[in-house]
Structure 1
Amino acid sequence: MLVTSKELLQEAQKGHYAVGAFNVENMEMVMAVLAAAEAQNSPVIMQTTPGTIKYAGCDYYYANVAAAAKRSKVPVVMHLDHGDSFARAMDAFRNGYTSIMIDGSKLSFEDNIALTKSVVDVCHVANVPVEGELGRVGGKEDDLENADENPYTDPQQAKEFVERTGVDLLAIGIGTAHGVYKGTPHVNVQRLSEIRALVDVPLVLHGTSGVPDDQVSDCVSRGICKVNYATDLRIAFTRGVKAYMKENPDAFDPKKYSKQGMAEVQKYVMQKMEVMGSVGKA
């Protein structure tokens, strides 16, 4: 059944591993991510961005994930990724999401605190955890774009932000970016360690698609508890569908070509669960 991210990530923090948060765009991707979690006996977080929600609505995506979780023995979280407004966060909250992110990172420090705390105050009444963001993740994904020249999270500000907002999870900027990297990314692990020394809530790494596995593992060892993957899942699904259609150009049944896309997603997710150390932690 569905659980909250706070439950999973506090265990991950104690056990020095991370839980993967995978963006799901359709029913097939939900099924593939769940199949990977079951094969690895791993907890899992499924999430949707505002851009995805605009395509179909929170209720559609929640229903897909809730149905998958009901069938599964592994714990599943339904998370709003990069909630872009109080109204968006409340939409996901009212539709049953078990974890909410409000992203005020483009605002001033004080305005980010005010927005984040407003979401925390509502969600905590129902014991739904909230993820905030301080610092910025570069690149572009969906409607999200950022080209900040100084994206790194300030450790002292991170400490103050957590204390004043009451957030349960904190996404930090340490050099990652959304979308497809043009070169090899280099994560600022020293900054991560400085933040970890001052902040006790589980930390979140965004923009991880394309980040080398050794860098991800290093981040997990230094305190990252939730790792987000989005772009690479889309690429994997599309690669599988294209491969099937190339071999079967007359195919017209979506179930047949989607299965190959699902297989690519499952393979990708299973490998990332090994990197994060969540295998066998369900």
Structure 2
Amino acid sequence: MPLTTTGELITRARAARSAVAAFNIITLEHVEGVVAGAERAGVPVVLQVSENAVRFHRGSLFPLARAAVAAAERAAVPVALHLDHVRTDRLLRQAADAGFGSVMYDASHLPYDENLAATRAAVDRAHAQGLWIEAELGEMDGKDGGAPRDAHAPGARTDPAEASSFVTHSGVDALAVAVGSVHAMTTRTATLDHALLGRLTAVLEVPLVLHGSSGVPDEELRAAVAGGIAKVNIGTALNQALTGTLRTYLGAHPDAVDPRPYLDEGREAMARTVERIVTAVGLTPA
């Protein structure tokens, strides 16, 4: 199936009052596991490569991106490729050539005015390349007057009025908001602020994105999608599935040398995780 774009998938999902699941990939096994899980569930999916993942690959974006494109083109469901949490202009410039249709530009660590200026410049560059662009907004002023809090720092919340102004003046196509999820949670205990999400949905016309969704229970995710979240980002849950499986296998086979058996089991564990999450949340089939 031809590679699609995040923007196209979100447009279809919003029309169906649903959302798109976006999974962060690090290795080829992540790519294959996510696509396999999405195919079993019959739903479209977004493959996300973060700047941290690029750093892990010694700063080279193209090998993993090329593998993701090849997998997408052979998938039985629509697959998009998204570049996540980009902070460097060098990486942003590579996105389109590497096959990405969208990018999340992250200047949320900067004071509000600097965040807005940097994001506006990134939007102009991205749109010139035909890229759909997402940004992030947490607590720009900082509760104590200090540095802004990341959108998914514990306790951070996005202010609706600030978000409305940010979207208007930056020109972004989507906004990741802080409503109670936290990055890298290994327990599914997050409670979302659905009243705040309702206020954000009421004032923003662009699709809203929930980062840190691995720590959000299924019922909370379903309520978030019903309340206006159009893109659900998941990463840690995949890594838990992969790493847990590898620990179990190597514990049972201490003399194992060939990596294929345990990587195969890890890939299958990630596929089951993808299938379970998208099915439990009730995302619209392709």
Matches within 5 A, 1:136-147: none
Paired residue for 1:93, among 92, 96, 101?
A: 96
Tell me the residue number matched to 1:9. 10
Structure 2 residue identity aligned to 1:103: D
Q: 1:50 and 1:254, CA in 2 relative to 1: closer, same or farther beyond 3 A?
A: same
> What SS does structure 1 have at the residue aligned with 2:96?
helix
Q: Distance in 1 between matches of 2:16 and 2:274?
A: 20
Work out whether 1:272 is the aligned partner of 2:273: no
In the alignment, residue 29 of structure 2 is paired with which amino acid? E
Are residues 223 and 111 of structure 1, via their aligned partners in 2, closer, same or farther at CA, if it must alter by over 3 Å?
A: same
Counterpart check, 1:225 vs 2:230: yes
Distance in 2, Cα, partners of 1:149 & 1:24? 24
CA spacing shift, 1:12–1:146, aligned 2, 3 Å: closer
* Cα distance change on mapping 1:182 and 1:231 into 2, 3 Å: closer
Aligned position for 1:49: 50
Q: Which residue of 2 aligns with 1:23?
A: 24
Q: Which runs of 5+ in 2 are unaligned?
A: 140-148
What are the superposed Cα offsets for residues 213-252 of structure 1, whole Å, 9 maximum, x if unpaired? Answer: 1111110000001111111111101111222223333222
Where in structure 2 are the equivalents of 1:46-195 lying within 5 Å? 46-56=47-57, 57-135=60-138, 151-180=156-185, 184-195=189-200
Q: Distance in 1 between matches of 2:253 and 2:53?
A: 29
**Cα distance, 1:229–1:267 mapped onto 2, change above 3 Å:** same
Q: Report sequence identity in percent.
A: 35
Provide, for residues 35-87 of structure 1, a one-character-per-residue CA deviation record: whole Å limited to 9, x for no partner.
Answer: 01111111101112211101212101211101101111311111111112333
Matched AA of 2:8: E
Q: Structure 1 residues 226 and 147 mapped into 2: Cα distance closer, same or farther (>3 Å)?
A: closer
Counterpart residue number, 1:34? 35
Give the distance between the partners of 2:273 and 2:192, measured in 1 at CA: 21
Q: Which residue of 2 aligns with 1:244?
A: 249
Q: For residue 83 of structure 2, what is the amino acid of its counterpart? A: L
Indicate if the aligned counterparts of 2:154 and 2:182 stay in contact, CA closer than 8 A. Answer: no
Q: Corresponding residue for 2:144?
A: none
Give the 5 Å matches for 1:202-217: 202-217=207-222
What TM-score do you get using the length of structure 2 for normalisation? 0.90
The aligned amino acid for 2:84 is: D
The TM-score normalised by the length of structure 1 is 0.91
Provide the C-alpha distance between the structure 1 equivalents of 2:156 and 2:277, rounded to a whole number of angstroms.
25
Shift of 1:91: 2.9
Distance in structure 2 (CA, Å) of the matches to 1:200 and 1:32: 33
Residue 96 of structure 1, CA deviation: 2.4
Gaps of 5+ in 1: 137-143
Does the Cα contact within 8 Å between 1:18 and 1:276 map onto a contact in 2? Answer: no
Distance in 2, matches of 1:128 and 1:166, equals: 13
Across the two proteins, how many residue pairs are aligned to each other? 275
1:38–1:183 Cα change, 3 Å: closer
Q: Spell out structure 1 runs of 4+ moving beyond 3 A.
A: 144-150
1:258 alignment partner in structure 2: 263
RMSD: 2.1
What amino acid maps onto 2:46 in structure 1? I
